[in-house]
Structure 1
């Protein structure tokens, strides 16, 4: 259930109403990121306080808790409605913070895309100077073919035979 400004004004004190009023349509756009964060913290504090009062009053009516004070309202309805007012205001502030964050992220992505495009265009038309006509002869050949290492066939066969013998020993072992 949403509350009109008149309902909010009747439920809240003057200071609380000024805080909630700054979360409404034209005033919320004047706040920067830090202002929105501070406003959200204040609204969370108000909401949590009213939530505590509501729970306390419900416990009192059930008989599971002692009375809390003389000036506390008679039913849990009033603090519950005040809590809802603060919760709605907090929701508006969080939504605005999310929108600002999304805009910042989008701007960062756009900047990154522009940088990537500029790098791509730079690399596409990069100028590589020619080597010129005075190229050196390069490294000299030492001559001769590379040394070939040859493994004798008898050695190859002996390694295979040794592997076969080792496997036979393992197979002979008792489990």
Structure 2
């Protein structure tokens, strides 16, 4: 659930607010990509800290952990709300970094497509080769030294006819 800028400011400290402010709409577009990655690291650190405090407070309420010093009073709701503020800021920063990466890849893909189109167009308009030299007769044929065994055409059907005649003679004897 999104929260207003004013309610975010009431939940976090001044230093944390400076970091979260950079993740909002007009300011995020003015931040360099490297600085945006550093911003993401800082927001992640704040988020992890609040997650740890929230978990600890819930464990204290259930009686599974000892209470921390006086610097951490109250319920587990406050750290959970602060954690949500940092989670929303991290989501904004991540989506902006993703948007910038998509923009860069789209630009590089367009450049690659233009180069491919130019190559294709140049391949369609190739000049014929110059007719100054011609090919030689080529390689010499080496005749095979294997013996050719071919059956003469007169013998092709005679073998099967011999088998038929022999079978007929055997049948007459019996």
Normalised by the size of structure 1, how large is the TM-score? 0.78
Superposed, which structure 2 residues align to 1:42-53 within 5 Å? 42-53=42-53
Change (3 A) 1:70 1:141: closer
Q: CA deviation at 1:126?
A: 1.6
Note if 1:60 corresponds to 2:60. yes
C-alpha distance in structure 1 between counterparts of 2:34 and 2:41, whole Å: 11
Match of 1:127 in 2: 127
SS at match of 1:90: helix
Normalised by the size of structure 2, how large is the TM-score? 0.79
C-alpha distance in structure 1 between counterparts of 2:32 and 2:87, whole Å: 21
Match of 2:146 in 1: 149
Note if 1:110 corresponds to 2:95. no
Change (3 A) 1:48 1:139: same
Note if 1:6 corresponds to 2:3. no
C-alpha distance in structure 1 between counterparts of 2:140 and 2:7, whole Å: 98
C-alpha distance in structure 1 between counterparts of 2:139 and 2:48, whole Å: 85
Instruction: Show CA shifts across 1:18-59 (max 9, x none).
Output: 100000000000112211111111100000000000000000
Unaligned runs of 5+ in 1: 154-175
C-alpha distance in structure 1 between counterparts of 2:148 and 2:81, whole Å: 93
Change (3 A) 1:38 1:141: closer
Q: CA deviation at 1:148?
A: 4.2
Q: CA deviation at 1:83?
A: 0.3
Change (3 A) 1:150 1:85: same
C-alpha distance in structure 1 between counterparts of 2:4 and 2:51, whole Å: 21
Instruction: Show CA shifts across 1:64-83 (max 9, x none).
Output: 00111211031001100000
Query: RMSD over aligned Cα, in angstroms?
Result: 2.1
Unaligned runs of 5+ in 2: 151-174
Q: CA deviation at 1:105?
A: 1.3
